[in-house]
């Protein structure tokens, strides 16, 4: 082995350990950076051919830096609903001020002055809006994504469009004569049972609906709906306007709705929209009238109180009256080889030639992890490991410098032989 080769090998060793110390320094500096993934220096041998002379020729070492991007960090919980962590595989899709999309695990999002969720590095969280219906992910593109906004200045009213009602109708009830049914809207109208439900018009006003159940024959019931505001004081009948909806429902011998019977009513809410009232859970059994659950969507005029984010990435606005409205759904992105992603400033990543193409989906589906609201993923740096690596690198660097120093001294001896 030549003295030059020995010195060159010592230099490659010092350079490799210098790279390792650089990754250790970065890891320690970012030990408290949310979503940060540690970098590691790996070494491989560099062999120089001896040409078959029997003389050993030292080559040295080559260092390669890799990031442990796919390694999960510890989940730490916070009081903020807009702090987000991913438990499992996947990345948030974020966007810089120039509109360039990136991938990130840093989920410390807060609303800016325009209500856009932005993290500590200035990247905006992207999602699909519910304005055009239930969103679906674009598997191989960022098309359709927009910055998520969670501040709403104006009051919002949601008209009722769908509801459910269940009850048991008494099988032994007396039959109401055809001329006395509520659908005739006469002063002496008779009925078997009655229930009222609250709905909302287009301006958020409450509209009370009176629902009458009247037995017309064996296993047969008429259901009629009126606007309570049109009713006569004390008695209800006659109402000042016709019934909003009426239909005849039939039951089979098991007490369930018969196969040919309707199972819902289409009700035009005064001042609002058509309410589809699902009555498929009605029963007719030998018991009294037992009303069950009555649920109707819509809400009165109310301001947004706070934001809630579900585990599947759905962002809800919760209003002061307790109602929830879907705003966005947060997608997750991934590549086939996450550890090969290109690392960019701001704790974000971009696709590289060796990472594979970016594909999108929703949390909990297709191998993606779950989104946890009110939580942050800590860095996956272990300070103890880094300090150990720093000591090892320091000693290896010193040893390699001694090799170079020894080679330099031997070279001086060789140069001075002729003197």
Residue 198 and residue 86 share a domain: no
110, 163: one domain:
no
- Based on the fold, state whether residues 168 and 295 are members of the same structural domain: yes
Residues 365 and 396 grouped into a single domain: no
User: Do 163 and 286 fall within a single domain?
Assistant: yes
Report the share of the chain in percent with pLDDT over 90. Answer: 71
pLDDT reported for residue 415: 79
Do 14 and 35 lie in one domain? The reply is yes
53 exposure class (CB count in 10 Å sphere: 0-12, 13-18, 19+): exposed
248: tokens are 């005849």
Which of 246, 280, 299 is at the close of a domain? 299
224 plus 294 within the same structural domain: yes
Least confident of 6-10, 96-100, 217-221: 6-10
Residues 184 and 288 in one domain: yes
Between helix 383-415 and helix 3-29 the angle, nearest 10°, is: 160
Of 377, 394, 409, the residue that ends a domain is 377
Confidence of residue 22 (pLDDT cuts 50, 70, 90): very high
| Residue span of the structural domain in which 10 resides | 3-71+380-418
Q: 245, 278, 299: which is the final residue of a domain? A: 299
Residue-wise pLDDT tens digits, 251-286 = 999 999 999 999 999 999 999 999 999 999 999 999
Split at pLDDT 50, 70, 90, the class of 127 is: very high
Task: Kindly tell me if the per-residue pLDDT of 322 is higher than 80.
Answer: no
Q: What percent of the chain has pLDDT over 70?
A: 97
**Under 8 Å CB-to-CB from 394, ≥6 apart: which residues?**
17, 21
Are residues 309 and 284 part of one domain?
Answer: no
Query: What Å distances lie between residue 349 and 329, 339, 342, CA to CA?
Result: 21, 10, 5
Give residue-wise pLDDT tens across range 288-302: 999 999 999 988 888
CATH number of the domain enclosing 279: 2.60.98.20
Question: Structurally, how many domains does the chain consist of?
Answer: 3
- Average the pLDDT over each of 138-147, 192-201, 275-284, 401-410 and give the range with the smallest value: 401-410
Q: Are 184 and 274 within one domain? A: yes
Structural contact between residues 117 and 147, judged by C-beta atoms closer than 8 angstroms: yes
Same domain as 44, residue 95: no
11, 60: one domain: yes
Is pLDDT at 305 greater than 90 in this prediction? no
């Amino acid at each position: 082995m030549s003295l030059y080769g020995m010195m060159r090998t010592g230099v490659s060793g010092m350079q490799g350990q210098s790279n390792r110390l650089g990754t250790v320094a970065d890891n320690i500096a970012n030990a408290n950076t949310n979503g940060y993934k540690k970098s590691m220096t790996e070494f491989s041998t560099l062999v120089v051919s001896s040409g078959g002379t029997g003389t050993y020729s030292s080559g040295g070492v080559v260092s390669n830096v890799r990031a442990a991007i796919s390694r999960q960090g510890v989940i730490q919980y916070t009081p903020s609903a807009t702090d987000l962590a991913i438990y499992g595989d996947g990345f948030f899709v974020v966007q810089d001020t120039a509109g360039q999309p990136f991938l990130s695990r840093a989920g410390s999002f807060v609303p800016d002055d325009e209500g856009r969720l932005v993290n500590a590095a200035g990247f905006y969280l992207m999602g699909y809006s519910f304005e055009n219906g239930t969103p679906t992910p674009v598997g191989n593109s960022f098309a359709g994504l927009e910055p998520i906004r969670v501040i709403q200045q104006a009051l919002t009213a949601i008209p009722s469009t769908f509801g459910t009602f269940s009850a048991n109708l008494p099988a032994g009830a007396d039959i109401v004569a055809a001329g006395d049914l509520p659908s005739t809207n006469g002063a002496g109208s008779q009925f078997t049972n009655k229930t009222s439900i609250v709905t909302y018009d287009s301006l958020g006003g409450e509209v009370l609906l009176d629902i009458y159940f009247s037995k017309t024959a064996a296993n047969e019931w008429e259901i009629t709906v009126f606007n309570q505001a049109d009713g006569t004081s004390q008695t209800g009948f006659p109402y000042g306007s016709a019934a909003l909806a009426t239909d005849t429902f039939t039951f089979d011998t098991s007490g369930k709705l018969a196969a040919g019977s309707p199972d819902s009513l289409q009700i035009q809410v005064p001042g609002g929209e058509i309410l589809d009232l699902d009555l498929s859970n009605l029963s007719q059994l030998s018991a009294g009238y037992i009303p069950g659950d009555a649920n109707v969507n819509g809400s009165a005029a109310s301001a947004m109180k706070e934001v809630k984010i579900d585990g599947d990435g759905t962002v809800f606005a919760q209003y002061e009256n307790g109602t929830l409205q879907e705003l966005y759904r947060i997608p997750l992105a991934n590549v086939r080889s996450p550890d090969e992603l290109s690392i960019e400033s701001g704790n974000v990543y971009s696709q590289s030639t060796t990472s594979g193409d970016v594909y999108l989906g929703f949390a909990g589906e297709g191998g993606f992890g779950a989104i946890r609201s009110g939580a942050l993923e800590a860095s996956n740096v272990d300070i103890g490991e880094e300090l150990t690596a720093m000591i090892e690198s320091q000693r290896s660097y010193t040893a390699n410098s001694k090799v170079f120093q020894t080679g330099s001294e031997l070279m001086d001896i060789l140069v001075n032989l002729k003197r």
